Amino acid sequence: MMDRFDFDTILFPFNWVCWHQGNFGARVLKKANEKGLGILALKSLAKRKWKEGEERKWNKTWYSPVDTFEEASLALRFTLSNSITAAVCPSHAELLWWACDAADRFTPLSGKEAAEIAEKAAGLDPIFPQD
């Protein structure tokens, strides 16, 4: 679509688990950067698919989001460290506050933290797998 139409921005789910476990997002990010587009990310705080019959702490999301502020901060920092213009937050107020607090303290991921988040993603079921 980016080759066919003259967009100013894109809205796409740039997410740490999908990136590392689902092979989802890198090609879109590269193309958007080549085109000089503004990049709006959603699902940055998503963690994995809900498991069958799992009790849902977060009832407004169709996926299981991050579990702690520390994880939210790392997830949002992953997204924003990838030349993203802005990230859209999930609908729960607590997740919004976590995202705002993480954004206020934003620093790009270090190499060590990038390796840590890739390791944390291992074994998780991405919400958008790509083969």
Q: Is residue 19 part of a domain?
A: yes
**For residue 46, what are the domain limits?**
9-121
Alpha helices in 13-65, H assignment, sequence order: 16-21, 26-35
Q: Is residue 63 part of a domain?
A: yes
Task: Please tell me the distance from the alpha carbon of residue 103 to that of residue 68, in angstroms, as a whole number.
Answer: 15
Q: Is residue 74 part of a domain?
A: yes
Report yes or no on whether pTM surpasses 0.95: no
Cα four-point dihedral sign 65, 68, 73, 75: negative
Q: Is residue 131 part of a domain?
A: no
Give the pLDDT of residue 8: 97
Q: Is residue 1 part of a domain?
A: no
> Whose CA is closest to 83, among 22, 18, 12, 3?
12
- End-to-end Cα distance, the chain: 19
Q: Is residue 25 part of a domain?
A: yes
**What is the number of domains present in the chain?**
1
Predicted confidence (pLDDT) per residue in 34-88, tens digit:
999 999 999 999 999 999 999 998 888 899 999 999 999 999 999 999 999 999 9
Dihedral pair phi/psi, residue 118, rounded to 5°: -65, -40
- HSE (CB half, 13 Å, CA atoms) of 2? 18
Q: Is residue 2 part of a domain?
A: no
Q: Is residue 126 part of a domain?
A: no
